[in-house]
Amino acid sequence: MLRQRRSINLSVGQNLLLVQFIKILAIIFCITIMGCSQTEKPVNVSDKKEQTEKKISDAKETNILQYPTLVTTSATKQIDFVINSEERYCIFNGEHYGFMTEDGKELTSYIYDVAYPYHEGLACVSYKQKYGFIDLNGKEAIPFIFDDAAPFMEELAYFAQDNRYGFMDRTGNPVFYLECDSVSSFQDGLAYFSIGGKYGYIDKSGNTVIKPIYDDADYFQNGIAKVVKKGKYGVINKEGKEIIAPLYDYININYNFIIATINNQDYCFDNKGKKYLAESYDEITVDEGGRFCMKKDDQYGFANSDGTIIASPQYEKVSLIHGKDLAIVKSNGLYGVIDFQRKIKVPLIYQKITPYNNEGQEEGILAVALDNKEGCLNLTDFSECVPIIYDEVYNYNKGKLVVRKGVKYGIIDQNGKLDIPFEFDEIQLFEDGSVALKRNQVILLFNSNNELINIDSDSITKKGEYYEIKKDNKYNFINKKGEKLLSQDWSYTPYHCCYGTFDIVVLRLNDCYGILKTKDTRDTDITRAFLKNMITPRIRLFHEFTQNPPVNKEEELSWGDDTIRNKGYIKDYKLYNLDGSAKPVLYYSALPYILRSSSLTNNGFCAIKDNKLHYLVTGYGSGGSMGKSDVYLWYDKKTEQIMMGEIIQTGGFCGFGGGVTIYSYKKGEALEVVSFYYTTQSTRNYEEKVLLENASMFYNDNGEPCTSDTILQLESVTEYSVNKTRVSKEEYMKLLKRYSCIHMLFPLIRS
């Protein structure tokens, strides 16, 4: 079996055996001590602050901050999450926000109710429920006089003050005012806005350039934007021309190509709206080189970046090799390679082919499987460079391969020469050429210079420029020389990380918190953190909800509703007209910055009735076996109405399932229209009589209806229901095709 590299997990190392390895290989073990700054509750690492400051001072002398860096803060006893931008940390401690530089200088105290990371040299923050902006030194740049505000995007920032709202410049002076229900940040020179639940666009002077005629709108990128009209997707340009008419069930813009789907058929257009591929397919995908794979009737083909069809759908599978005019194809259960001139370069005789090549360079190999043995072909001339004699070949890096014979692993070069003998229980080859070897419960690490680094660890993972090592559920980090970065092992949650990157980790040692950054992340795109759709004071109750979501004890609320009010959550809002009354409903979504298996999420719709705000449909997510539900917009293809719908997923020890409940909106209330669900569970959960009498209404793992002769032999079955009544799979599928989810346009939602 060919596979990618894997992680190594070990039990506690055997010290005696470790000493023997050290003696045999005559390796000098060096540890560099680093401490942790003292907090209000002292810990036994008081030398940390001085050593960190010295490291930072040394880095400043060369005007380059060396990575990895570790900084601690004495201003707070807790760090829940960190967002890094413009070489500054925006930190949330569970109650308030504060800022510090990457070299450990505390810019502000933890006093802000709301804070966005720095962008365009300023950070938008709220202090005592008034918004303002601070500069890169943490000093007030724009006074705290606003009732609401959003980060600067393209030199403009939204503000609301005394029921007036619009956009300000970097001095805090209004550039223009608005009269709309909601407005987004600017991107690509335009911002979308809504009036009565209909969307249009304004330019940076506040002029309407596209009238509010759409049911939903997305941000412009590269001169085009997705829109929704009557439940259908389209694409417009900056002049408001519909280059793709809103007729499609969904649209995906990828690598300057537009893939539009209708009736389960994909069509491809360029970013001017010109049809790119002559016909439709069941599925079209495009890679970063602009090349296409097409699927039709469970057969695959591919096309060049100019739209020329190289091979019509005729293969069981097609995979394009990155940076090469080559495609791996599968036919009659066997794999081969053809080029873009339709010439067979590798005959279709292999059980599997996996490419390993570096950004289109000439170097590279194809790992192949033949007669249950594995080896490699040269990617240049396709000759056999590694004999097909191994039980497993995987993880190619820096001209080396991990291979297995029997139960033991070794490393060979790309010409088949043995580099590390077959003596190890497991091997992990890292991208820089370093390698971790496991033998007899001991991990040995060779760095990229082939020097042995002695470690005592249960597991090792490469992260950026360093290695993360884990011992007894405690973590530390070593550099390429094997020097420990921390004087003591820290605890941390691996998903405690910077928004948008895993190269920043929050550490914890007793009551001391630290932020470890492994490499320069200035190229990391965290635009998502600054794009906001603001609900203006024009609809007072909705605006107040976005500022401080109320708790109405008289309403039936989702049990996950607390997430709406939690400060550690990304909160997104949008307005929609569901009944044609021009009195929109509010869609809300609350998602934690740090996603964990037990994270609570919350979304749904609320409306204003009798001058009060109340919930219509709510969804929640909890992870684990408790299941989740998500609320989105849905479109009824039969009645051509936009509606509300809840997607429910259930799980547990007894089985799993899911389905949809559709709601209409009338006179300020949500009315259930239809619900359709499926459930897969053990046959032991049913009475034998029920199974036998309804056998044809139960389905096996292949989706085929059961019979009274077969159903009792099955371990599990699937059943379908409509409005809580058991129905055939065909009736369930009919409803699934009638209603389509149109939630994908909400740019601020992460699924």
Average pLDDT over residues 602-619: 91
Alpha helices in 538-625 (DSSP H): 540-547, 562-565
Per the listing, tokens 């307005």 go with: 575
Q: Tell me which range, 74-83, 100-109, 444-453, 739-748, is most confidently predicted by mean pLDDT.
A: 100-109
Q: What is the pLDDT of residue 720?
A: 97
Residue 118 pLDDT grade (very low, low, confident, very high; cuts 50, 70, 90): very high
SS3 542: helix
340 contacts 372 by C-beta, under 8 angstroms? no
Cβ atoms of 496 and 489 closer than 8 Å: no
Give residue 60's pLDDT band: very low, low, confident or very high (50, 70, 90). Answer: very low
Nearest to 202 by CA among 250, 148, 154: 154
Condensed to tens digits (0 to 9), the pLDDT of residues 344-362 reads 999 999 999 999 886 544 5
Query: For position 749, what pLDDT does the model report?
Result: 33
Give the mean model confidence (pLDDT) for residues 614-628. Answer: 75
pLDDT > 70 fraction of the chain, expressed in percent and rounded: 84
Average pLDDT of 289-293? 93
**Could you give the percent of the chain with pLDDT greater than 90?**
62
Residue 249, phi-psi category: left (phi > 0), alpha (psi -120 to 50), beta (remainder)? alpha
**For residue 226, what are the β-bridge partners?**
235
State how far the Cα of 195 lies from the Cα of 180, in Å rounded to an integer.
Answer: 5
Residue pLDDT, tens place only, 248-262: 999 999 888 999 999
Picking from 16-20, 526-530, 601-605, which range would have the lowest pLDDT averaged per residue?
A: 16-20
* 504-540 residue pLDDT tens: 888 877 778 888 888 888 888 888 889 999 999 999 9
CA end-to-end span of the chain: 32
pLDDT in tens, 477-500: 888 888 887 777 877 655 455 677
User: 481: closest CA among 13, 15, 7, 32?
Assistant: 32
User: Cα torsion for 122, 124, 125, 126, to the nearest 10°?
Assistant: 140
Q: Percent helix, strand, coil in the chain (nearest 5)?
A: 10, 50, 40
Give bridge partners of residue 311 from the DSSP assignment. 302
Q: What is the pTM of this model?
A: 0.84
| 54 vs 101 pLDDT, higher one | 101
Q: Please give the average per-residue pLDDT across 545-550, as a whole number.
A: 75
Segments of 414-503 assigned E as strands: 418-424, 426-429, 435-439, 442-446, 452-454, 459-463, 466-471, 474-478
pLDDT at 747 over 50: no
pLDDT tens-place string over residues 27-39 = 222 323 233 333 2
Cβ neighbourhood burial of 185 (10 Å; 0-12, 13-18, 19+)? buried
Specify the pLDDT at position 563.
Answer: 58
pLDDT tens-place string over residues 388-411: 999 999 888 888 899 999 999 999
Specify the pLDDT at position 274.
93
Whole-number Å distance between alpha carbons of 246 and 349: 46
Domain ranges of the chain: 1-30+322-457, 38-61+69-108+473-534, 539-745
The reported pLDDT for the residue numbered 625 is 53
- Tell me: pLDDT of 25 over 80: no
pLDDT of residue 24 exceeding 80, the answer is: no
65 pLDDT more than 80:
no
Give CA–CA dist 34/460, Å, rounded: 20
pLDDT of residue 557: 43
Predicted confidence (pLDDT) at residue 311 exceeds the cutoff of 90: yes
For the four alpha carbons of 580, 581, 582 and 585, in that order, the dihedral sign comes to negative
